Structure 1
Amino acid sequence: MARWEPGARERLVVAAVDLFTEQGYDETTVAQIAERAGVTRSTFFRHFADKRELLAAGQETLSQLLTEGIADAADGATPLEAVASGLERVSQAMGQMNRDLAPRIKAAVAASAELQARDALKSVGLGVAMRTALTARGVPDATADLAAELGILAFKRGFAEWTEGARDTDVGLAPYCLAALDELRAAATSLG
């Protein structure tokens, strides 16, 4: 095995998802993941603290992209327009690999209480990132909380539809997230 081989992080994620699907999360070891990815255990630990972290591999990047998108929204943008800007920015980072792995990741998460807890923490982290970016724009706390929660729901709904929908289209994630955000905005106004 070559030292510092490029693409190791991505190969580790794919290997882990494959093994979680084949034999279950609890039965999969770090050694098995490293072997399947063609790297050493020490390479695994250079990239991830433990196997649970594999499924949250891009959380920091997603949080940063959401924050940047919200911060870069046009002056005078409403809170939800700023959230839409964040969703567009994060959608640009999602490619075919994300789309292909999503159903298997969803199945692995559904089969493991530990991964369900980690997935919930990921959502909380993304929500905090959006809320912080919104308050930095001067959005009041309660409004920032609500806009961030709607942003998380829109991301989840859009991502689910994008990954579970027809594969014969090259449409990216953004239109799905933005449509979900519009639907949630309309639903929120109907609450009265």
Structure 2
Amino acid sequence: MARWEPNAPERLANAALDLFAERGYENTTVIDIAQRAGLAKTTFFRHFQDKREVLFGRGTVNELLAEATAAAPATAGPLEAVAHALDAAGRQVFTSERREFIARRQAVIAANPELREREALKNLALIASMVDALKRRGVPELTARVAAELGALASTIAYERWSQTTAGEDFGEIARQALDDVQASTAFC
């Protein structure tokens, strides 16, 4: 590939996933990734801080969920605001075009304890973002925490369901169903 071609971040991310699958995360360097993508090492560092950031981004999902939670209709209760955020994640992150990339990313993370730990920390940050957004909506802290935790659980369940489907189902719809299922299951606790 020529170095001037567009979509450098996407090319780098795909090259990284290919190499992580072939060699393992630990045995892949930034230089390897840049070379595979047909780009210079400096181009890699223009888009990513290190090779982990290829997998974890720069907090854009946190921002998306917080903004979407805050943008939910004023009449929405805490769980409905979280559902609104999950809808936004489905429209912007968990799209059918990104399904293969997301599945490959998850396989790399699952194979590496350090990356699983990083993913767990990222999920805690996502929950904190939703809690803050709900509190800004005037939701009491405990209620915000419970709604965000239930939303995170529903998101995890939805991701599992979505990644196992081949029918191109919408993540937002699956997430709303998962949130309904989680909420219904609390009646038995």
* TM-score interval (norm. to shorter): over 0.9
Gaps of at least 5 residues in structure 2 are none
The one-letter code sitting in structure 1 at the alignment partner of 2:12 is L
CA contact (8 A) 2:3 2:38 kept: no
Q: Which residue of 1 aligns with 2:153?
A: 153
Determine what percentage of the aligned residue pairs are the same residue.
43
Q: Which residue of 2 aligns with 1:45?
A: 45
The one-letter code sitting in structure 1 at the alignment partner of 2:60 is T
CA contact (8 A) 1:103 1:164 kept: no
1:107 CA displacement: 1.9
Q: Which residue of 2 aligns with 1:162?
A: 162
Task: Give per-residue Cα distances to partners, 1:37-62, cap 9 Å, x unaligned.
Answer: 111110111111111111112x5221
The count of residues paired between Structure 1 and Structure 2 equals 187
Distance in 2 (alpha carbons) for counterparts of 1:37 and 1:156: 31
**TM-score scaled by length of structure 2:** 0.93
1:141 CA displacement: 0.7
SS at match of 2:144: helix
Q: Which residue of 2 aligns with 1:173?
A: 171
- Residues 55-94 of structure 1 aligned to structure 2 (within 5 Å): 55-57=55-57, 60-93=59-92, 94=94
The one-letter code sitting in structure 2 at the alignment partner of 1:27 is N
**TM-score scaled by length of structure 1:** 0.91
Distance in 2 (alpha carbons) for counterparts of 1:66 and 1:187: 24
1:2 aligns with 2:27: no
Distance in 2 (alpha carbons) for counterparts of 1:13 and 1:97: 14
CA contact (8 A) 1:62 1:90 kept: yes
Q: Which residue of 1 aligns with 2:27?
A: 27
1:171 CA displacement: 2.3
Q: Which residue of 1 aligns with 2:136?
A: 136
Q: Which residue of 2 aligns with 1:189?
A: 187
Distance in 1 (alpha carbons) for counterparts of 2:97 and 2:118: 21
Gaps of at least 5 residues in structure 1 are none
1:170 CA displacement: 2.9
* CA separation of 1:96 and 1:36: change in aligned 2, threshold 3 A: farther
Task: Give per-residue Cα distances to partners, 1:91-129, cap 9 Å, x unaligned.
Answer: 110323421123322221122111111111110111111
- Structural RMSD (CA): 1.4
Distance in 2 (alpha carbons) for counterparts of 1:22 and 1:141: 45
